[in-house]
Amino acid sequence: MACLLEAPLRISVLSEVTATSRHYVDRLFDPDPQKVLQGVIDMKNAVIGNNKQKANLIVLGAVPRLLYLLQQSSSSLQLRTECAVVLGSLAMGTENNIKSLVDCHIIPTLLQGLLCPDLVFTEACLRCLRTVFISPVTPVQLLYTDPTVIPHLMSLLSNSQRTQEYITQIFSHCCKTPEHQTVLFNHGAIQNIAPLLISPSYKVRMQALKCFSVLAYENTQVSMTLVNVLVDGEQLTQVFVKMMQRDQTVEMQLTAAKCLTYMCRAGAIRTDDGCIVLKTLPCLVRMCSKEHLLEERVEGAETLAYLMEPDVELQRIASTTDHLVAMLADYFKYPSSVSAIADIKRLDHDLKHAHELRQAAFKLYASLGSNDEDIRKKITETENMMDRIVSGLSESSIKVRLAAVRCLHSLSRSVQQLRTSFHDHAVWKPLMKLLQNAPDEVLVMASSTLCNLLLEFSPSKEPILESGVIELLCSLTQSDSPALRVNGIWALMNMAFQADQKVKVEIVRCLGTEQLFRLLSDPDTNVLMKTLGLLRNLLSTRPHIDQIMSSHGKQIMQAVTLILEAEHSIEVKEQTLCILANIADGNTAKELIMTNDDMLQKIKYYMGHSNVKLQLAATFCVSNLIWNEEDGSQDRQDKLREMGFVDVLHKLTQSVDPNLSDRAKTALQQYLA
């Protein structure tokens, strides 16, 4: 019985709420302008802090009416301003509220409202626009649809501190792409916003600073311009340095450090400049300490990782600053059972976001250890570090998995770590699991790491081979992503180096000749180079060379011909000639060259090439063909003499390059023996 009563009860409560809300909306249609104004003011008071009321009014159609009243020239300025204030309040509600407002075309209506000369009204419109634009559900492109909007907003910057705060906040939230940066830059963002950095209002200074951080990010043009900007006679970089001082808020210190980081990464400030080494780097390390809030520690670590990513000297300095490597270990213990967080709300928030700390720590470790062997050792010796990376590889958060595999990749560049920590923790197992079913971003990083684990001196190579990795790698070579194709073929190349015949045959069988030759005509040079490297490793040691050439010789010779005839880099042609030299070292395989006059002419042409590397590779090829101790060497020597090879070799003995001259002499000795 209770079930039957429940529904009508709910309806009556809902209709009651809707009825009171309906009363507010009805008053917006009153013929008396004074009553309409009073109705809007009452609505404003009713919705403050009341999300339910906001949602009801939106459902009942208040928004189109408020926008209509705001646009009417017959509406009084006070009414239009109050409408903008109520719309701003409605925007403060949920994301659904924002979606409804955007669907009602609130943005173009408010932007139009900015043409009104009244300051109080334009401030109300800007406040509402700011609230709408900072929501993640608002398409930022709406700011750039009308080309007159950005210049008009720039012209309003000088009107008041409020217009400065709202407009810079809109810019910093809506600058998401290089195109957005260019539009803002071309409309004078730097000249217009720079003076705001010394505004008496903290909010204005802060929003101006945020603007510069998004403008400078990965943008050389903006960064180079910022270096030369003066604010009240002081260089902008020095203004940023002052903003990083400890007496400033953490938010300001962090954002100023981001500005200098981005300018440095864009090439506008040298990495050894004092403002980076002595100010920005220590400031970011400071942000990683545990007295800061979770989001500050995350941002500090991620910005620091970005700052020093390409620079080994900064990595060395950071690794010895404030015990950073040990400090980051705390990122994995947070929040601990003894965390001194009195605020339950804060604790709840931090528990939900603790994975962001782990992600940031992995990113920073990856950056720290990307070049220096001692730093890598320091990282792996940090308490339980390898266990943490291994568990990071299977975390539910895709971002943590990616950061963990980045960290692993960075450490896998170390021969010592491959032989010790990586082997002790059987890192290859979770890595292989990760490769089974992951998005491309993770696959690229995981397969790069696998390439290192398959190097010949890595103890992980054998167990990986036994786990059936060849098929997985061959499937990567068919990916649409060039990075995955490179990694797949690179790993196979490492696997084939000094491998058993069984492994080589399995690679050729699994890859298939068709795919191998498709890769040899890949538009990506890196893929082509690694495929040639694979072929070179497959064609090493005589029995292997002869076996592979007996079954695939025709296609391989065809591919070599095509590459030598096409427009390719010196590196590609050198690698191809080295493959030819390996073929020439086979017992039976060399006949495929000797019976191909066209190929012999090509070798002769490259012996006389202007590039020494190509001359060396071609001469090495001839040496292998005419080597005395092998069957049929006399016939081969005679044929090459007839074709004029001996004359070319005599010429090469006079080469200024000692290696080339020696190699030519060694070849000629075969004729004298």
What pLDDT does residue 15 have? 47
pLDDT 10s digits, 370-397: 999 999 999 999 888 999 999 999 999 9
**pLDDT greater than 50 at residue 659:** yes
Rounded distance, CA 616 to CA 618, Å?
Answer: 6
Q: 625 in a domain, yes or no?
A: yes
**pLDDT greater than 80 at residue 5:** no
Mean pLDDT (whole number) for 284-310: 95
| 14 vs 134, more confident | 134
What pLDDT does residue 345 have? 77
**pLDDT greater than 50 at residue 605:** yes
465 — pLDDT class (breaks 50, 70, 90):
confident
Mean pLDDT (whole number) for 516-545: 93
Q: CA-based Rg of the chain, rounded to a whole angstrom?
A: 34
8 — pLDDT class (breaks 50, 70, 90):
very low
Q: 627 in a domain, yes or no?
A: yes
**pLDDT greater than 60 at residue 340:** no
Rounded distance, CA 43 to CA 404, Å?
Answer: 51
Mean pLDDT (whole number) for 5-24: 55
What pLDDT does residue 235 have? 96
Residue for token pair 């060259």: 593
Q: 173 in a domain, yes or no?
A: no
Cβ pair 216, 223 in contact under 8 A: yes
What is the DSSP-derived secondary structure letter of residue 407?
Answer: H
- CATH number of the domain within which 616 lies: 1.25.10.10
For the chain, give the mean pLDDT: 92
What pLDDT does residue 349 have? 79
Number of residues written out for the chain: 673
What pLDDT does residue 362 have? 96
Q: 646 in a domain, yes or no?
A: yes
Residue type, 61: G
Contacts of 371 (CB under 8 A, 6+ apart): 312, 315, 413
11 — pLDDT class (breaks 50, 70, 90):
very low
User: How far from 476 is each of 435, 503, 670, CA to CA, in Å?
Assistant: 10, 18, 45
Pairing of strands 230-231, 234-235: antiparallel
- Which segment of 105-114, 278-287, 433-442 scores lowest on mean pLDDT? 433-442
**pLDDT greater than 50 at residue 13:** no
**pLDDT greater than 80 at residue 241:** yes
What pLDDT does residue 17 have? 54
Rounded distance, CA 231 to CA 241, Å?
Answer: 13
What pLDDT does residue 154 have? 97
What pLDDT does residue 673 have? 63
What pLDDT does residue 631 have? 82
Mean pLDDT (whole number) for 443-467: 91
Cβ pair 558, 583 in contact under 8 A: no
Phi, psi of 332 (to 5 degrees): -90, -10
In angstroms, how far is the first alpha carbon of the chain from the final one?
Answer: 111
353 — pLDDT class (breaks 50, 70, 90):
confident
Cβ pair 582, 540 in contact under 8 A: yes
Rounded distance, CA 413 to CA 409, Å?
Answer: 7
**pLDDT greater than 90 at residue 418:** no
User: How far from 639 is each of 171, 409, 617, CA to CA, in Å?
Assistant: 75, 51, 20
Three-state secondary structure call for residue 234: strand
Beta-strand (E) ranges in 219-259? 230-231, 234-235
**pLDDT greater than 80 at residue 6:** no
466 — pLDDT class (breaks 50, 70, 90):
confident
Q: 598 in a domain, yes or no?
A: yes
Supply the range of the domain harboring residue 642: 542-672
Contacts of 548 (CB under 8 A, 6+ apart): 504, 508, 538, 539, 556
What pLDDT does residue 425 have? 87
Contacts of 94 (CB under 8 A, 6+ apart): 51, 54, 55
Mean pLDDT (whole number) for 333-339: 62
pLDDT 10s digits, 26-59: 999 999 999 999 999 999 999 998 889 999 999 9
What pLDDT does residue 670 have? 86
What pLDDT does residue 633 have? 86
What pLDDT does residue 341 have? 55
**pLDDT greater than 80 at residue 10:** no
Rounded distance, CA 561 to CA 580, Å?
Answer: 10
What pLDDT does residue 2 have? 40
Q: Is 658 exposed, middle or buried (0-12, 13-18, 19+ CB in 10 A)?
A: exposed
1 — pLDDT class (breaks 50, 70, 90):
very low
Three-state secondary structure call for residue 105: coil
Q: 634 in a domain, yes or no?
A: yes
What pLDDT does residue 424 have? 86
- Which segment of 100-109, 455-464, 527-536 scores lowest on mean pLDDT? 455-464
Quote the distance between the C-alpha of residue 39 and its chain's center.
52
Q: 607 in a domain, yes or no?
A: yes
Number of Cβ atoms within 10 Å of the Cβ of 355: 16
Rounded distance, CA 434 to CA 132, Å?
Answer: 40
Mean pLDDT (whole number) for 407-431: 90
- Which segment of 6-20, 91-105, 234-248, 256-270 scores lowest on mean pLDDT? 6-20
- Structure-block tokens of residue 549: 């050439």
What pLDDT does residue 152 have? 97
Task: Give the containing element (helix H, strand E) for 257.
Answer: helix 250-265
What pLDDT does residue 347 have? 79
Number of independent structural domains in the chain: 1
Cβ pair 230, 236 in contact under 8 A: yes
User: How far from 580 is each of 213, 393, 602, 613, CA to CA, in Å?
Assistant: 54, 42, 11, 14
Rounded distance, CA 251 to CA 170, Å?
Answer: 18
Three-state secondary structure call for residue 235: strand
Mean pLDDT (whole number) for 246-268: 98
Quote the distance between the C-alpha of residue 500 and its chain's center.
38
Q: 584 in a domain, yes or no?
A: yes
Mean pLDDT (whole number) for 654-672: 90
Number of Cβ atoms within 10 Å of the Cβ of 134: 15
612 — pLDDT class (breaks 50, 70, 90):
very high
Cβ pair 539, 549 in contact under 8 A: yes
